[in-house]
Amino acid sequence: MTKQSLVRRQDLAVAVVVASAIADAFPRFSYPPTAAAATVSCAKNYKRLLHQLDLGSGGGAVGFRRDNPWVQSMMTLSPTQIKPPVARTAPLMASHVEEYDAWMRSHPSALSNFEDIIAASKGKQIVMFLDYDGTLSPIVEDPDRAFMSDEMREAVRDLASHFPTAIVSGRCREKVSSFVKLSELYYAGSHGMDIKGPNDEHKHAKTRTKAVLFQPASEFLPMIDEVYKSLVETTKSIPGSRVENNKFCLSVHFRCVDEKKWSSLADKVRSVLKDYPKLRLTHGRKVLEIRPTIKWDKGKALEFLLESLGFDDRNDVLPLYIGDDRTDEDAFKVLRDRRQGFGILVSKIAKETNASFSLREPTEVLRFLRRLVEWKQFSADC
Ligand SMILES: [Mg+2]
């Protein structure tokens, strides 16, 4: 076994210990699955859970007790207290390693399979789509401090000089743009509901493009503002909670809220939303998300941008989408359904996903982007 693979094994061991501890703490909706549960059954539980979370009209009779599945899902998917490994961890570790290895065989590393991706791009224009949080920047306690490194910014700048590149984020477009600080990119904020392109015509576009600006949920702006003010007022009694106005959607961050208060926070958020049937409530990693019920998501944003670039209904394009969260699955699914391009999931654990490849963390994303740039520069020199 090489030193490198040994290190990877050790990293993996840490990851599975953490995963095991989470599963032990919250057995009802364990994710990733416990040793006894197969990936498929976990996926079914997860889908059922998401169905419960998708409150649609904001109505329903779901209460917010600690033992409620909704609240449990907040705890399971957003763990704060991870127990140290216990004696029976060893067999569980082995099982999780096997499970992760199996998952990696169906979602192999985009770095290890770089040549295959390049081979698939022959005669095609690569178009890059990048999520921000957890993909270009690490997940941090304070969402206002989710800065990307200078190295990552340099890599994205180089990338955009060779390929059309878009940032697709749940954040407010202006906010994510202020983090990235690159004017030559396309930005799709608010889960794709606020899209803007670079002002200059893009040199890689197949057709003449003009400045792209698309906001399919404009009519919701007054409502979003109103709900934002209500949520700020209603949740101020919960220490550590943070309401973020993403313009076309809202985020209620609970990563700094005491776990004992999560149920109360969820209850307060839902009490506000019951008067707004056109908004729906979902959640991601330590965040509750409120957005319009319109059929628009990151997958639609990807299709819109491809069309804007003149690649709609064309075979000479290879879109690559890199993201780490559930909302990125909409884009992965679009690529899978179109049989075009590849979704790349950033994850250290096995997850049900429509992505074709995986990367473990933002540092691997950085390596992948650099390799793409090096390959392009090398092929241009030949
Ligand atoms: Mg993300």
133-170 confidence digits (pLDDT tens): 999 999 888 888 999 999 999 999 999 999 999 999 99
Residue with the two structure tokens 């059929």: 295
Give residue 71's pLDDT. Answer: 66
Give residue 73's pLDDT. Answer: 65
CA 111 / ligand 1 centre spacing (Å): 19
- Top pLDDT among 323 and 50 is at 323
CA distances from 214 to 184, 236, 301, 304 (A): 17, 33, 9, 9
Give residue 144's pLDDT. Answer: 87
Q: Could you give the CA distance from residue 268 to residue 64 in angstroms, rounded to a whole number?
A: 9
Is residue 337 over pLDDT 70?
yes
CB of 331 closer than 8 Å to CB of 139? no
Query: Residue 127: in which H helix or E strand, if any?
Result: strand 125-130
| Structural tokens at position 113 | 């399979």
Read off the pLDDT of each residue in 107-113 and give the average, rounded to a whole number.
Answer: 97
Q: Comparing 129-133, 202-206, 225-229, which segment has the lowest mean pLDDT?
A: 202-206
Read off the pLDDT of each residue in 244-273 and give the average, rounded to a whole number.
Answer: 93
Q: Comparing 62-71, 209-218, 285-294, which segment has the lowest mean pLDDT?
A: 62-71
| Cis bond upstream, residue 32 (ω within 30) | yes
pLDDT tier, 70 (very low <50, low <70, confident <90, very high otherwise): low
Which of 178, 163, 99 is CA-nearest to residue 130? 163
3-state secondary structure 58-109: CCCCCCCCCCCHHHHHHHHHCCCCCCCCCCCHHHHHHHHHHHHHHHHHHCCE
CA 134 / ligand 1 centre spacing (Å): 5
Give residue 9's pLDDT. Answer: 42
Residues tagged active-site: 131
CA 140 / ligand 1 centre spacing (Å): 12
pLDDT tier, 108 (very low <50, low <70, confident <90, very high otherwise): very high
CA distances from 199 to 161, 202, 203 (A): 15, 9, 12
Q: What percent of the chain has pLDDT over 90?
A: 60
Is residue 260 over pLDDT 50?
yes
Give residue 255's pLDDT. Answer: 86
Q: Which residues pair with 342 in a beta bridge?
A: 320
CA 336 / ligand 1 centre spacing (Å): 19
Provide the residues around ligand 1 (an ion) whose CB is within 5 A: 131, 133-134, 324-325
CA 327 / ligand 1 centre spacing (Å): 8
CB of 250 closer than 8 Å to CB of 231? yes
Read off the pLDDT of each residue in 234-243 and give the average, rounded to a whole number.
Answer: 96
Query: Residue 202: in which H helix or E strand, if any?
Result: none
CA 207 / ligand 1 centre spacing (Å): 30
Q: Which residues pair with 284 in a beta bridge?
A: 287
Which of 365, 371, 321, 326 is CA-nearest to residue 341? 321
Which of 71, 76, 77, 58 is CA-nearest to residue 263? 71
| Structural tokens at position 334 | 């679009």
Query: Residue 191: in which H helix or E strand, if any?
Result: none
CA distances from 13 to 6, 26, 83, 96, 167 (A): 10, 20, 15, 9, 32
pTM of the predicted model as reported, rounded to 2 decimal places: 0.75
CA 381 / ligand 1 centre spacing (Å): 35
CA 123 / ligand 1 centre spacing (Å): 30
**Mean pLDDT across the chain, nearest whole number?**
80
Q: Could you give the CA distance from residue 164 to residue 319 in angstroms, rounded to a whole number?
A: 10
Give residue 200's pLDDT. Answer: 64
pLDDT tier, 208 (very low <50, low <70, confident <90, very high otherwise): low
| Structural tokens at position 101 | 């290895």
* Complete DSSP assignment for 347-378: -SS----S-SEEESSHHHHHHHHHHHHHHHHH
Query: Would you tell me how many other CB atoms lie within 10 Å of the CB of residue 102?
Result: 12
Q: Could you give the CA distance from residue 75 to residue 266 in angstroms, rounded to a whole number?
A: 12
Give residue 94's pLDDT. Answer: 72
pLDDT tier, 209 (very low <50, low <70, confident <90, very high otherwise): low
Q: Could you give the CA distance from residue 192 to residue 349 in angstroms, rounded to a whole number?
A: 26
Is residue 110 over pLDDT 50?
yes
* Complete DSSP assignment for 275-306: T-TTEEEEEETTEEEEEE-SS--HHHHHHHHH
Q: Could you give the CA distance from residue 290 to residue 288 in angstroms, rounded to a whole number?
A: 7
CA 121 / ligand 1 centre spacing (Å): 25
